[in-house]
Structure 1
Amino acid sequence: MLLISSCNSIPKNSGASLSLKNTYKKDFYIGAALDTNQIKETDPMVTDLIAKEFNSITAENCMKSMYVHPEKGKFDFKMSDQFVAFGEKNKMLIHGHTLIWHSQLAPWMAQIKDSVTMAEAMTNHISTIVEKYKGRINSWDVVNEALNEDGTLRKTVFLDTYGKDYLSFAFKLAAKADPKTDLYYNDYNLCNAKKRKGAVELVKNLQKNGAKIDGVGEQAHWNLTSPSLDEIEKTILDFAALSVKVSFTEFDISVLPNPWDIVGADVNQRAEASEKMNPYPNGLPEAIQIQLAARYEAIFKLFLKHQDKIDRVTFWGVNDKQSWLNDWPIKGRTNFPLLFDRESKPKKAYYSLLSLKK
């Protein structure tokens, strides 16, 4: 498989204990996104679970600009420092998320109106953060969700002020700040042909413009029936053909129905609540537990088929209680998308992934 450069290498944890990270240690990193309470280690049982099961972590929210750079010239690294320290203590691969994103954006940055000011803001933001964690953060999502569903560039303050070259500019800034960290483009719905084609062109343009890009992250916010395994496989092959690492960066499988007009994982999308849209408020029926386990197993079989191309599989959360899907795109729903339930106990899906390697 593709390895991290020797200067930035984190050994995959080994040991006799049965766990996800040990089961897949020869294949790819197994990661989880950590929320604030998990970073603070407020629940010892959850802390132990994270250390036992995962060898890679991503910051769910604390490194987004509205938190780490809330005001011009003012950075708040308290939580991101704790996040990095957690990863180092547990000898994990540490992934930074995210440097440039139009959502959860620092308000002062969203108000910029001209290219010169935006260039200064991006330079200060990226250079300060990446240099601070130079040699400690193994990889970064440099730009997140820059594409529309048809593969064209999304209209954002970065595109409006700086122009389409803001992507190359961002990647070059990050590479200059830490030449040895891996740099990713990250997005959702890359299994959809039009958007995937746009992402392929985005990567090619970065390469043509001399920007360092090491990998593409497919967020993998999927459900019980889609995308198809064929489309997932095409995604792996199309990005691997560009000589970049392939990662599945925000993996979860929703078991709930989706409103007909909701596509993708745009956190700003909302729909009306109804009983039909929240069918399992008191727990997941056994039949759906089995279906979820089978879906995870089928996807991981495909991942194992292409383990030489895949660097990391990161679940977007540790347990069902933490999952963002409880509130998206409808507030107050009860979803069950991860491998551990609300009490952090393993589900059938967890055991189905362990059994694949027996």
Structure 2
Amino acid sequence: MKSILFTSILLLLIGCGSDRDQYQQEQTEEQTLRSAFEGSFLIGTILNHRQIFGQDQRGQDLAVREFNAVTAENVMKWENIHPEPGVYDFDAADTMIDIAEENGMFVVGHTLVWHSQTPDWVFYDDEGELLSREALLERMKDHIETVVGRYKGRVHGWDVVNEAIVDDGTMRDTYWYRIIGEDFLVKAFEYAHAVDPEAELYYNDYSLEIPSKREGAIRLVEYLQENDAPITGIGTQGHFMLDFPDLEEIEKTITDFAALGIDVMVTELDIDVLPPAFDYMGADVSASAEMREELNPYPDALPDSVQQQLTDRYRDIFEIYLRHSDDITRVTFWGVTDGDSWKNNWPVSGRTNYPLIFDRNWEPKPAYHAIIELAEEHR
């Protein structure tokens, strides 16, 4: 499905191409990810607080050189941008968007409605009682109107609802669902679209490669479509491991969602190289485990053999992405370098992980060169 941005500009008949095409045309003279994947899909990353404000200037410089799409890691989540009733802190988000605009980057707002990293006050009244359906809808509407309204025309796509289902494909029991009901998703999309009709609007979730969860997400998208919710795309997060999920399930996730007539994005890509702390394979930020020596086997450096496994895994996954580049509009890495990654502290705090394609010295890893080579072969 063509994006809202693309469709709206086509209505002009002649003139500029879509906003996405505009960002894909931005190149540097040297080979970069953004130039290598031009014509395939946007290639993105996230910016954290230190990178946004220049404490990690090398990380910021690397991000704007290599990528043409950017998502805020945390600074646009409810607890940071709207920490108290009537109090908004836009400083970090404003700065990030300024950086993006200066460097021709497609901007994704993450995230409007989520059960996690949302303050408790959102769901309670002044007497400490849970809000009514009508009151919580009004609170949601006010938040969306304020945040989306501030960035209308500057944020090009929004993760409207994040992680609303669990692994068996049923709805997650959150305050949003418990108080409002399943149509909280419909309302969230309606509110966002009313404020900025040109913005792309996404549902975003992890572990959609698990068949039961993927089937639940398909039902969810169909429910939204049947209720005329203006969903334009789905983000499958891509928090993978060296041996999970199977490549066939990664590919089926793309094709199954593309068949629904919506854009498909990989929104939070990383590959965990460490031993699993437990059997759970998802990305629930509330999950945790105690540190044990065997769970942190590479505290100083990644062995060459594991580095090769990581390279092979990225190459295999990007072969799939490039094969389906007509359906995929964006692939975003969840971090600039290994040192930035949340995987160093989840689900075990203090580990040394190596899940990305730039190392702790801001240098490209073999996986970087492998996917660049693939992209060039594909063009």
TM, length-normalised to structure 1: 0.97
Report if the CA contact (8 A) 2:311-2:366 is conserved: yes
Report if the CA contact (8 A) 1:33-1:316 is conserved: yes
The superposition leaves residues 265-303 of structure 1 with CA deviations (integer Å, 9 ceiling, x where unpaired) of 001100121111111011100001111001000100110
Question: How many angstroms apart in 2 are the aligned matches of 1:15 and 1:290?
Answer: 28
Q: Helix, strand or coil for the counterpart of 2:111?
A: strand
Does residue 1:151 correspond to 2:156, yes or no?
no
Question: How many angstroms apart in 1 are the aligned matches of 2:315 and 2:85?
Answer: 46
Question: How many angstroms apart in 1 are the aligned matches of 2:56 and 2:276?
Answer: 32
Picking from 8, 29, 42, the partner of 2:55 is: 42
Report if the CA contact (8 A) 2:123-2:136 is conserved: no
Question: How many angstroms apart in 2 are the aligned matches of 1:43 and 1:159?
Answer: 39
Picking from 200, 205, 221, the partner of 1:203 is: 221
User: Amino acid of the residue matched to residue 19 of structure 2?
Assistant: S
| Most deviating of 109-118 and 195-204 | 109-118
Does residue 1:311 correspond to 2:332, yes or no?
no
Change (3 A) 1:41 1:288: same
Name the residue aligned to 1:121. 139
| Most deviating of 258-267 and 173-182 | 258-267
Q: Helix, strand or coil for the counterpart of 2:223?
A: helix
Deviation at 1:355, TM superposition (A): 1.4
Picking from 19, 41, 65, the partner of 1:9 is: 19
Name the residue aligned to 1:244. 262
User: Amino acid of the residue matched to residue 245 of structure 2?
Assistant: P
User: Amino acid of the residue matched to residue 223 of structure 2?
Assistant: N
Deviation at 1:50, TM superposition (A): 1.1
| Most deviating of 246-255 and 108-117 | 108-117
Name the residue aligned to 1:179. 197
Report if the CA contact (8 A) 2:27-2:35 is conserved: yes
Name the residue aligned to 1:93. 106
Percent identity (aligned): 46
Picking from 78, 91, 95, the partner of 1:65 is: 78
Deviation at 1:240, TM superposition (A): 0.2
| Most deviating of 94-103 and 257-266 | 257-266
Q: Helix, strand or coil for the counterpart of 1:213?
A: coil
Question: How many angstroms apart in 2 are the aligned matches of 1:240 and 1:9?
Answer: 21
Question: How many angstroms apart in 2 are the aligned matches of 1:71 and 1:150?
Answer: 34
Q: Helix, strand or coil for the counterpart of 2:264?
A: strand
Question: How many angstroms apart in 2 are the aligned matches of 1:166 and 1:93?
Answer: 27
Report if the CA contact (8 A) 2:242-2:309 is conserved: yes
Question: How many angstroms apart in 2 are the aligned matches of 1:2 and 1:183?
Answer: 12
The superposition leaves residues 169-212 of structure 1 with CA deviations (integer Å, 9 ceiling, x where unpaired) of 10000010100100000000000100000100100111110110
Picking from 284, 296, 320, the partner of 1:278 is: 296
Name the residue aligned to 2:317. 299
Deviation at 1:15, TM superposition (A): 3.6
Name the residue aligned to 1:141. 159
Deviation at 1:106, TM superposition (A): 2.0
The superposition leaves residues 49-96 of structure 1 with CA deviations (integer Å, 9 ceiling, x where unpaired) of 111100000000000000111111111111111111111111100000
Does residue 1:227 correspond to 2:253, yes or no?
no
Report if the CA contact (8 A) 2:234-2:262 is conserved: yes
Q: Helix, strand or coil for the counterpart of 1:122?
A: helix
User: Amino acid of the residue matched to residue 30 of structure 2?
Assistant: S
User: Amino acid of the residue matched to residue 9 of structure 1?
Assistant: D
Name the residue aligned to 2:120. 107
Question: How many angstroms apart in 2 are the aligned matches of 1:45 and 1:122?
Answer: 37
Question: How many angstroms apart in 2 are the aligned matches of 1:250 and 1:70?
Answer: 24
Picking from 51, 69, 84, the partner of 1:56 is: 69
TM, length-normalised to structure 2: 0.92
Report if the CA contact (8 A) 1:151-1:197 is conserved: yes
Question: How many angstroms apart in 1 are the aligned matches of 2:120 and 2:73?
Answer: 19
Name the residue aligned to 1:33. 46
| Most deviating of 9-18 and 51-60 | 9-18
Question: How many angstroms apart in 2 are the aligned matches of 1:40 and 1:332?
Answer: 24
Picking from 59, 78, 92, the partner of 1:79 is: 92
Report if the CA contact (8 A) 2:109-2:158 is conserved: yes
Does residue 1:167 correspond to 2:201, yes or no?
no
| Most deviating of 103-112 and 279-288 | 103-112
Long gaps (5+) in structure 1: none
Q: Helix, strand or coil for the counterpart of 2:93?
A: helix
Report if the CA contact (8 A) 1:31-1:315 is conserved: yes
Question: How many angstroms apart in 2 are the aligned matches of 1:157 and 1:37?
Answer: 32
Q: How does 1:255-266 map to 2 (within 5 A)?
A: 255-266=273-284
Deviation at 1:2, TM superposition (A): 4.5
Report if the CA contact (8 A) 1:63-1:98 is conserved: yes
User: Amino acid of the residue matched to residue 249 of structure 1?
Assistant: T
Q: Helix, strand or coil for the counterpart of 1:127?
A: helix
Question: How many angstroms apart in 2 are the aligned matches of 1:239 and 1:208?
Answer: 15
User: Amino acid of the residue matched to residue 36 of structure 1?
Assistant: H
